[in-house]
Amino acid sequence: MDTNYILELTLISAQELKKTLKFRRMKTYALAWIDSTVKVRTCIDRVGGVNPTWNDKFLFRVSSEFLYSETSGISIEIFADGIFRDSLVGTVRLLVGNLLRTGSSYIPMRVPSFNAVQVRRPSGRFQGVLNVGASVLFGSDVPAMNNVPAINFRELIEEASKSKVMRRSQSGVDKPHGNPFLHYDNQPNSRVPLRERHRMIREMETTKHARSSSDGVKWSTGSGISSKQVARSDSMSRMT
């Protein structure tokens, strides 16, 4: 029986991309996918121009066969946000064998590995570099990922905040929200229920907190909550 894993990919930044807009600053975003029917999207960098920074984290549900295959990879497209249409800046094909350490030692690989990969222009020429990070978790670390093939971690955090507001104003009834970070092709009913999103966030935070305590590794969930704030909230709860 094949074992399920979670491939965690972080699109950090890019440098010296080809400028596709002549009269204004280029604003870029990236799409990433393993299965072309389910694509995840970064935020739009509005200030970096040809040197954008995203720091967006994606979770992909994969098998051990996928991780060990020499041809397995992740496809990435970088776009410039346009007024009438978006223009393709370049593409990257990340081979898992190059992205992660070879051999069984990287399953699971708790500490992320970092790589710089060349960006290929639509013309076929290389221009620019994409900086990425990757790690591997056990599928059991995030049980809710059994229901979805891929998700943007930023979207998890934002949906959790939206649902809190909805519960206050809509008497506890959840309504669907438009998701600018997740693109489904031919799968309109594959979105993750809000209750599953909350559980995924709690499981990720619990798992990584436990690992940081045992391994001495500091993990970031992207939620913007510092360790001092967590400690302060714990002390206040004990006082009450």
CA distance 234 to 42: 33
User: Which residues is 57 bridged to in the sheet?
Assistant: 10
Place of tokens 């978006």: 86
- Identify each DSSP E strand in the chain by its residue range: 4-15, 28-33, 38-41, 53-63, 73-80, 87-95, 113-120, 126-138, 150-152, 182-184
Please give the pLDDT value at position 108.
60
CA distance 107 to 45: 32
Place of tokens 């013309």: 123
Every domain of the chain and the residues it spans: 1-240
Kindly calculate the radius of gyration of the chain based on its CA atoms and give it in whole angstroms. Answer: 19
Per-residue pLDDT of the chain in tens (240 residues, 90 and over written 9): 456 888 999 999 999 999 988 888 999 999 999 999 999 999 999 999 999 999 999 999 998 889 888 899 999 999 999 888 999 999 999 998 887 765 445 556 656 788 999 999 999 999 999 999 998 888 777 776 777 888 887 766 666 666 666 666 554 444 444 444 455 454 433 445 566 666 666 666 666 555 555 554 443 333 344 444 444 444 444 444
CA distance 113 to 135: 6
Q: Which two tokens stand for residue 139?
A: 């599928």
Give the list of residues 6+ apart from residue 239 with CB closer than 8 angstroms, or none.
none
State the pTM of this model: 0.66
The sign one gets for the Cα dihedral 70, 74, 80, 82 is: positive
Instruction: Look at strands 53-63 and 87-95 and give their pairing.
Output: unpaired
Please give the pLDDT value at position 233.
44
Give the list of residues 6+ apart from residue 164 with CB closer than 8 angstroms, or none.
none
Please give the pLDDT value at position 160.
60
Q: How far is CA 153 from CA 8, 72, 224, in A?
A: 10, 22, 12
Q: Which two tokens stand for residue 208?
A: 């990584």
Q: What is the CATH number of domain 1-240?
A: 2.60.40.150
Q: What are phi and psi of 95, to 5 degrees?
A: -80, 130
- Return the ∠ at Cα 18 (arms to 12 and 132), rounded to 5°: 15
Please give the pLDDT value at position 217.
42
Please give the pLDDT value at position 96.
87
Instruction: Look at strands 28-33 and 73-80 and give their pairing.
Output: antiparallel
CB 156 within 8 A of CB 201: yes
Residue type, 147: N
